[in-house]
Amino acid sequence: MPLTAVATSPLRPLLLAAIAAMVGAIAMACGGGEDGALQSPTVESPSPAAMTVVTTLPVFADFVREAGGDRVEVTAIFPDGLVPGLIDLPPEDVERIGRADLILYNGLELEGAVLDLLFEHRRRGSQIVDYSKDVASPTVEGMTAYQARDNPYLWLDPVLALTYVDTSWDSLAIGDRAAAGTYETNAERYKEQLRALHEEIQETLGSIPSDSRRLVTFNDTFFHLANRYGLEPVRLPEPVSTAVPNPNRVKEWAQLLREQGVPAVFTQPGSASELLNQAALRAGVQVCTLYADSLDDEVTTYIEMMRFNASELSRCLGGR
């Protein structure tokens, strides 16, 4: 066909219209507006996290966050630490558990009746992991802490906390295999920080005089911390109620504190009572604070929490 035939073809107007439409579409895709000016590209919303995680305690959420980075959305259902005797959860926590891909808890009966709620409200197909089944027992060789029925506050020993981190990243990798290498790299970097933390605490607590190395508390929460760093844990009897400072009870507790021969007794945030304060004043000892299972404005991460504990132990027991 001669070239002049194209000019007279009835298809030419349609072809030109189609080309014009394509050019317009390309211009719009490249940011052109109606007046031909370039427009700013549309900012897309950040992609949702690859893994949704629920933990029981804030320190566990911190381990998950360090291993998972931006790929995880993690919530602790006990933001202020364990609540003794709690047998129910608010609806928002039940909803979080129901949509979680991964649930991590301590085990060794630490969570009490709440553990049943975790299993009851989890969604089908989600992972639920007991940390204590992975941690090597510090008291019985060749057994896990779960098998040995150890004191549950294992993470307060930074050396044992390394396994909490390993369990966290490995559990994330099972649910999000595409990022397994990222989780492992993040975890290894964080574990180096925990090893350095252990050496730092060892040096800090090593300065406490030998005749003051008694860790006096009203529970056995800090058993593993004391055991790791050569302190002697001493548990004083905890009365049914410490709210009302009965004079006879104050006298009795003051005598118990004197018998320990230490400059301080330790409680957890919010747990000190007027009875304890009066008994300590009468015995001439300080009431100091150690963190175990909660984070707040004072200590926002596990590492900050453990540094605070080491500093407080050293300060109150006469270390440098």
Strand-strand pairing, 102-105 and 72-76: unpaired
Q: Residue 52: in which H helix or E strand, if any?
A: strand 51-55
**Nearest-angstrom CA–CA distance, 108 and 125:** 24
Q: What pLDDT, in 10s, does the model give residues 100-128?
A: 999 999 999 999 999 999 999 999 999 99
> Side chain identity at 63, as an amino acid letter?
F
Give the pLDDT band (50/70/90) at residue 40. very low
Say if CB 169 and CB 187 are below 8 A apart.
Answer: yes
Predicted local confidence at residue 320, as pLDDT: 82
* Tokens describing residue 165: 């981190």
Phi, psi of 214 (to 5 degrees): -115, 125
81-90, 103-112, 172-181, range with the lowest pLDDT: 81-90
Q: What is the mean pLDDT of residues 52-75?
A: 97
26 pLDDT above the threshold of 50: no
The model's pTM is 0.82
Q: pLDDT for 184-236, tens place per residue?
A: 999 999 999 999 999 999 999 999 999 999 999 888 999 999 999 999 998 87
Dist CA 221 CA 152 (whole Å): 8
Query: How much is the pLDDT for 14?
Result: 38
- Round the average pLDDT of the chain to a whole number and report it: 85
Most confident range (mean pLDDT) of 7-11, 12-16, 265-269 is: 265-269
- Specify the range with the lowest mean pLDDT, choosing from 89-93, 124-128, 129-133, 268-272: 268-272
d(CA 230, CA 225): 9
Ordered by where they begin, the domains of the chain are: 51-202 (3.40.50.1980), 207-316 (3.40.50.1980)
Q: How many CB atoms lie under 10 A from the CB of residue 174? A: 15
How would you class 47 by CB atoms within 10 Å of its CB: exposed for 0-12, middle for 13-18, buried for 19 or more? exposed
Residues sharing a CB contact under 8 Å with residue 261, sequence separation 6 or more, in sequence order: 211, 214
